[in-house]
Structure 1
Amino acid sequence: MLVPEKKVKTSPLSCDTPTRTILHEVSGVFEAGKFTAIMGTSGAGKTTLLNAVAGEASGGKLSGGVSFNGAQVNSDHIRRLRAFVFQDDVMMGTMTVREAITMSARLRLPASIPLTEKLKRVEEVIELLHLDKCKDSVIGYAKERGISGGERKRVGIAMELITNPSVIFLDEPTSGLDSHTAHSVCKTLKELAKAGRTVVATIHQPSSDIFHMFDNLLILAHGKILYQGPSRDCTPYFAARGSECPRYTNPADHIFMKVLNDQDAITEDEKQLATARVQSLLNEYVTSGTLSRMEEAAAAPGPGVSGSGQEKGAGVMTELAVLFTRARRNAVRNRMILRAKIGQSMFMGLLVGLIYRNLQTNQKSIQDRNGALFFVSVNVTLSAAFGVISAFGVERTVFERERSVGMYSTLSYFLSKILVELPHNVIFPFLQSTIVYFLLNLQQAADKWIIWAMIFVILNNVGNSLGISIACMFADLEMTIQAAPIFILPLMLFSGLFVNQTGIPVYFNWIKYISPMKYRWDRRGAEE
């Protein structure tokens, strides 16, 4: 039984902050073995209700409770008992379908389950969701060809289904799909419900074929329940109240166009009459026997919930192993990025080397020498920083989604990324530094060359860390790129080339000590 009341702040500038109630004392039951659709106009509270029941609600004020099999459960418990498929399909595009589902199995299933059993379950889920034909295909990204939209949606369901949940919540599973693909996805959900699971999905405006797949229907209007019960009974229910569905008309279209709204209402009086009719239906539902039956079913004692939900998933070492393998594959399969790094290292090395070629040791070459040292230090640092900002900006949504469902810890993700990218952060700056060193005709001694190359490598890794830090501050990639110069330009300004170190105001003096470029080209600064 659920009685949520969620209030959202709408005017943070006012002294007495007003609130808006999204859901108004909503009570209902989602039956086991049934496919239930939550329908309603935009802003009716569909997603809010789904999030509240599934333990995904955040912000605002939520009151009431949720029970499973007659036992009251809290949000943490709910999250361990159910699967939640979000509207947007967020997953690593370089993985294959089998790899994505296998990763979910290895990270989310208890460590007590043998690996062979986990892999067996992966194959069973692939077969159950009809993913056999594309199981070895790369998922792909929005701008890179991969599997189809319907297959992506089923992969998302499979990654959640791997834990064998008894309840599956889905937010707009047909969003962005064509009618055939949407029908295929809903047919899969219907089969999952027939197998004994409780399937609940928000649906905006289904086709007629999809509508007739629903076992139960919950219709929201203005944050309240207007109808709840078997989908086959909704048209007679509204017909008895003056809104008969015409023959050969999609019941869903009739509900949206004539029950929840009146497409023929033109004048203000007609619109007010339509609003009054909706309010009358809302009031009638409250006093109807349907609500009473739902409340009795929710209050009825059941078998309860055994144990504390799903056991804890994989340990830290398993997380590191799985994430390291995925990151390594991602680096290898992103051939364009690999080629770009090699090309950038060679191009920038040759460019700097040819511009400042054969530096002399006389007074006239001081400016060229200072310029060369400053330019290479800035280039290797900024290239690494902006490179990781772009790369992490793409992966951030995947990380946040997987982290939110408890797949792995932040530490495991961070360590795996560092370990995979460390060879790149050593080899490429070493290549660039070698090209620059010999073209500039610096001291021809092995130890000097090695020191030069190692400083290049250190600067590259410092830039990499700087980029990660900046990328973590902002959720949006575009905002991150816009804000990056605010952090980077002061480091360049106080590195020692543009401003005399002894003339920096005391309140800015500390910036020079955190500038990596200062220690690269100004030896005196490193000895201060």
Structure 2
Amino acid sequence: MVRQGSDTPLAIAIDVDGGSDSSRGTELQEFNALSKAAGHGTKDGLSIDVPDKQLNRQQTSGLFNANSSVGLQICFQGLNYHVPSNQNKKERISLLKGLNGFINPNELTALMGPSGSGKTTLLDVLAGRKNAGILEGTVLFGSQKPSMAFLRRFTGYVEQFDTLIGILTVKEMLLYTAEMKRPVSEPYASKAAAVDDVLDKLALDSCKDTLIGNAMVKGISGGQAKRTNIGIALVTNPRVLFLDEPTSGLDSYTSNEVMRNVRQLAVGGVTICATIHSPTAYCFSLFSRLMMLVKGRIVYFGPISGGLAFAQQACPNLKEMEAGYNDAEFLVDFVTDADRQGRGNVLADFYDTSALAKENDQHLEMLLSKTHMIPKELEDQLNVKSATATPWWWGLWTLMRYRTRKNYKNPNYMSPRVLDKVLLSLLIMTLYLLKGDDYKESNYTNIAAMLFMWVTLPAFGASAYIPSLVLERGLFIRERADGLYHVITYLLSKVIEEVFLAAIVSAVCAGFVFYGVQLQGAWVIFWLCYFLCLINGIVLAYFIAALSPTMDVANALLPLYAVTLLFFAGFLFRFDNIPPWWKWYSYLNFLRYAWSALMRN
């Protein structure tokens, strides 16, 4: 239990967390002494300034019970991460340099440092989300090297920027994730109960039926969105939780509320590591251990209260704490100033040669040499092969139930897919009304032009489909990394979603034009040509959107390509007159075949 007024609050705080080794006592006494010597005291708040009833492990029931979410000891040794230089591809830039450390279960571990120090890079490396560079060193979860499938399925990662589905409510968002990441065999009632537990623990009950919203639709607040983002990482009982700047963009009250909830998760048994930039004094006090980085090197790794005293000992007289600072803010400013003055390596060298670093390395070696007894279920999870918890068909069905169904009810989604086609078909029908019965030679050109426009409109109207893919790119990357589905599952859902709607819309529009104009031939051929042109336009839009870095680039490329198709379709320029070196392009032009089929029909 927490004892107030003790001279060794750090030891008590770690004991509350349930994971301190007795050999760490020397370290704790040393840095409490350093803190006192620096004039900052031991800060009683660091014994976790949260009421006992909020942190009592016996009271964290349900989803966050220690029995239902067993944390893992994470160890990393000799960690280096290099990426090619932008100026010279043969040169490598080292973002992480020889990092050694460990993350204990039942604790909150903070990663701090100036911008560009490597905090997020380290978090991504531990979570298995860095694959563009060269990674060296050892990363172990519970004394075993985790599979990529394990990292996707059984760890949670909360990104700095919220990537949520704006057309879903908060509860639907969590249910959608639970359906994707919990076993198919688990009853729906059990999944719903887990979601209700998350809503309760993260104080989201009041907004559970509110749309998340987006840039065009007002939804939940920033704090609620951040907690929802944490909730989707928790709804499957992750063994490990990584958080990248969980308090960024939040006011102090909301920041404290979010981190208090995260602290409860740690007490419940989840292994948690978070990058944090400018925490409030209260948020800072909730952490148990701190790793401070500068330019990819460790400048401090130890109890949360010892960082400032340690840094001041490494660079005395660098900067004095002014009124209004809290320890966390001053520590970041102190290390940042040292880095800007070219003394970042001095801090890192001081740590490398310190007794604290030696003690940490000895403790790490002990952890690496120890054979951890872990449950058989957990061992199986560490060696799991499939990156998704559910089969592809279940993922497809879930995507259709939650996202396609909502899209079909969303005016912002339906309008560009339906309204323009209906209006243009009505325009063509009224413009060429009953002209199909006119067999005068002068009318042949009008009908040919009308048929040509009929097949070219889908190519130009395909721009309406670009936002669907570009705006969902961040969401797709996050959900793919979280192991919600395979790429083919997502692709199939988008194809079915678009093709089903296109079939209905094209049939209605083809009926308006074919019977209104009284064209000759078969309606089914007329409809099929339009439908296939529409599908080609959708595929073209998706292809260009996937290759384009931004929506502006995609919207510029698609019309440009569509215009080139017009010249080689056979109407503006006869196929027989096309130069030989350009005829290959005409053979690849779907408009040529569609217009030719309509003319023959």
Q: TM-score, normalised by structure 1?
A: 0.89
* Alignment pair present for 1:353 and 2:429: yes
Letter in 1 for 2:506: P
- Whole-Å separation in 2 of the counterparts to 1:187 and 1:24: 32
Find the counterpart in structure 1 of residue 566 from structure 2.
492
Structure 2 counterpart of 1:166? 239
CA distance in 2, matches of 1:53, 1:245: 34
Residue deviations 1:92-111 (CA, integer Å, cap 9, x gap): 11111111111211211233
Relative distance call for 1:153 and 1:321 in structure 2 (3 A) is same
2: CA distance between counterparts of 1:229 and 1:258? 17
Deviation at 1:327, TM superposition (A): 2.9
Deviations 1:235-294 (A, max 9, x none): 3334545366456521122123334306xxxxxxxx98x433x43322111111221222
Are 1:389 and 2:466 matched, yes or no? yes
1:70-104 CA distances to partner (integer Å, 9 max, x unpaired)? 33445554444421111121121111111111121
Worse overlay, 191-200 or 105-114: 105-114
* 2:529/2:597 contact within 8 Å kept: no
Contact 1:29 1:297 in 2 (8 A): no
How far off its partner does 1:476 sit?
Answer: 2.7
Alpha carbons of 1:251 and 1:497: their partners in 2 closer, same or farther (altered >3 Å)? same
Q: After alignment, is 494-503 or 73-82 more displaced? A: 73-82
Corresponding residue of 2:267:
194
Which residue of the partner structure matches residue 398 of structure 1?
A: 475
Q: Note the alpha carbon deviations across 1:116-169, whole angstroms, 9 max, x for none.
A: 322222222222222111112111113321111111111121111122122111
Q: Which moved more, 1:234-243 or 1:210-219?
A: 234-243
Equivalent residue in structure 2 for 1:275, among 342, 346, 350: 342
Letter in 1 for 2:592: K
Alignment partner of 1:42: what SS?
A: coil
Contact 2:112 2:332 in 1 (8 A): no
Q: Corresponding residue for 1:372? A: 450
Does residue 295 (structure 1) correspond to residue 361 (structure 2)? The answer is: yes
Q: Work out the CA distance in 2 between the residues paired with 1:380 and 1:97.
A: 36
Secondary structure of the 2:381 match is: coil
Q: Give the corresponding residue for 1:517.
A: 591
C-alpha deviation, 1:224, in angstroms: 0.8
Aligned to 2:580: 506
Cα shift at 1:45 = 0.9
Q: Which amino acid aligns with 2:372?
A: P
- C-alpha separation between the residues in 2 aligned to 1:490 and 1:339? 27
Partner Cα distance (2:246, 2:409) in 1: 29
In structure 2, relative to structure 1, the CA distance for the partners of 1:379 and 1:327 (3 Å cut) is same
Matches within 5 A, 1:9-20: 9-11=84-86, 14=88, 17-20=90-93
Structure 1 residues not aligned, in runs of 5+: 263-270
Going from structure 1 to structure 2, the CA distance change for 1:500 and 1:145 (only over 3 Å counts) comes to same
Alignment check: 8 A CA contact 1:519 1:525 kept: no
Bigger shift: 193-202 or 64-73?
Answer: 64-73
- Counterpart CA distance in 2 for 1:397 and 1:525 is 44
Does 2:83 correspond to 1:8? Answer: yes
SS in 2 for 1:22: strand
Match of 2:381 among 309, 319, 327: 309
The CA distance in 2 between the partners of 1:342 and 1:323, in whole Å, is 22
Stretch moving more, 352-361 or 487-496: 352-361
- Rounded Cα–Cα distance in structure 1 between residues aligned with 2:194 and 2:580: 64
Pairwise mapping of residues 94-173 of structure 1 onto structure 2 (< 5 A)? 94-173=167-246
1:400-421 Cα offsets, whole Å, 9 max, x none, are 3212222112222233333333
- 2:372 corresponds to 1:258: no
The range that moved more, 198-207 or 240-249, is 240-249
**Take 2:558 and 2:281, find their aligned partners in 1: how far apart are those partners?**
50
| AA matched with 1:257 | D
State the AA in 1 paired with 2:575: Q
Give the corresponding residue for 1:266.
none
Q: Partners in 1 of 2:300 and 2:536 — Cα distance? A: 59
Q: Which amino acid aligns with 2:463?
A: F
Q: Matched residues in 2 for 1:417 and 1:151: separation?
A: 29
What is the deviation of 1:210? Answer: 2.0
SS at match of 1:294: helix
Q: Which amino acid aligns with 2:576?
A: T
Segment of structure 1 superposing worse, 373-382 or 296-305: 296-305
How far off its partner does 1:325 sit?
0.5
- Superposition CA RMSD, Å: 2.6
Q: Alignment partner for residue 487 of structure 2, among 385, 399, 410?
A: 410
1:304-333 CA deviation, whole Å, 9 max, x = no partner? 554232665111221122111123322233
Per the alignment, residue 267 of structure 1 pairs with none
Q: Report the secondary structure of 1:63's partner residue.
A: strand
Q: Does the Cα contact within 8 Å between 1:2 and 1:53 map onto a contact in 2?
A: no
Which one of the candidate residues 70, 90, 98 is aligned to 1:25? 98
Aligned residues: 511
Post-superposition offset of 1:526: 7.3
Distance 2:472 2:148 in 1: 27
Equivalent position SS for 1:57: coil
SS state of the match for residue 523, structure 2?
helix
2:540 to 460, 463, 466: 466
Question: Is 1:323 aligned with 2:399?
Answer: yes
Measured at CA, do residues 81 and 395 of structure 1 come closer, stay the same or move farther in structure 2, by a change above 3 Å?
A: closer
| Distance of 1:251 and 1:302 partners within structure 2 | 38
Question: Distance in 2 between the 1:356 and 1:112 partners?
Answer: 58
For the pair 1:335 / 2:411, whether they are aligned, the reply is yes
Distance in 2 of aligned mates of 1:502 and 1:459: 23
Q: Is the 8 A contact 1:238 1:244 kept in 2?
A: no
Which residue among 431, 436, 439 is the counterpart of 2:508? 431
Match of 1:265 in 2: none
What is the one-letter code of the residue matched to 2:380? S
1:397 maps to a residue whose letter is: G
- Report the Cα distance in structure 2 between the residues aligned to 1:71 and 1:316, rounded to whole angstroms: 28
Larger mean CA deviation between 170-179 and 317-326 belongs to 170-179
Residue aligned with 2:157, SS: strand
8 Å Cα contact 1:519/1:526 also seen in 2: no
User: Is residue 465–residue 542 contact of structure 2 (8 Å, CA) maintained in 1?
Assistant: yes
Name the CA shift for 1:341/1:320 in 2 (closer, same or farther; >3 Å): closer
Q: How far off its partner does 1:482 sit?
A: 2.0
Q: Distance in 2 between matches of 1:246 and 1:71?
A: 46
Task: Give the residue type in structure 1 aligned to 2:342.
Answer: T
Distance 1:325 1:78, change over 3 A: closer
- 1:414 and 1:73 map into 2 onto residues whose CA distance is 28
**8 A contact 1:327–1:420 mirrored in 2:** no
Residues 1:70 and 2:143 are matched in the alignment: yes
| Greater mean alpha carbon deviation, residues 500-509 or residues 352-361 | 352-361
Give the match's secondary structure for 1:36: strand
Label 1:222 to 1:458 Cα distance change in 2 as closer, same or farther (>3 A): closer
Which whole-Å CA distance do the structure 2 matches of 1:11 and 1:235 have between them? 35
Of 88-97 and 413-422, deviating more is 413-422
1:4 counterpart SS class: strand
Question: C-alpha separation between the residues in 2 aligned to 1:366 and 1:71?
Answer: 76
* Matches of 1:463 and 1:414, distance apart in 2: 16
Report the AA paired with residue 509 of structure 1.
K
Letter in 2 for 1:508: W
Percent sequence identity is 28
| 3-state SS of 2:300 partner | strand
Secondary structure of 2:581's partner?
A: coil
